[in-house]
Structure 1
């Protein structure tokens, strides 16, 4: 086998690339279809930690913190 035909040539590579793109498009379409039928996932947010909340800090306080260093 020569190194020229190691991967089957340009036609085979093009076919493989086309199949990969087609599978990705089908998967994306299936995902959108399922989300449209079932709706968004419900339940608790798996990334939310119970007992913690986001704290908003006044920009002036941040400036003061940097000024005192």
Structure 2
């Protein structure tokens, strides 16, 4: 198993539509990993996804596939 790339030098960003403090930040690292973390806890845990999985998740959000019914 290969060690994942370090997220220490990652450049984190959040949506420009964020405003109430309940946000997540996202960082892409070397085209290998997309990290997601709670913006209120920058030193806390990070979820890591492959770019393919992250793209599928974002596409599902945009297409309404993950909307509550």
TM-score bin (small chain): under 0.3
- TM superposition score normalised by structure 1: 0.26
Return the structure number with greater strand share.
2
The structure with the largest helix share of the pair is 1
Which structure exhibits the higher relative contact order, with contacts defined as CA atoms closer than 8 Å and separated by 6 or more residues? 2
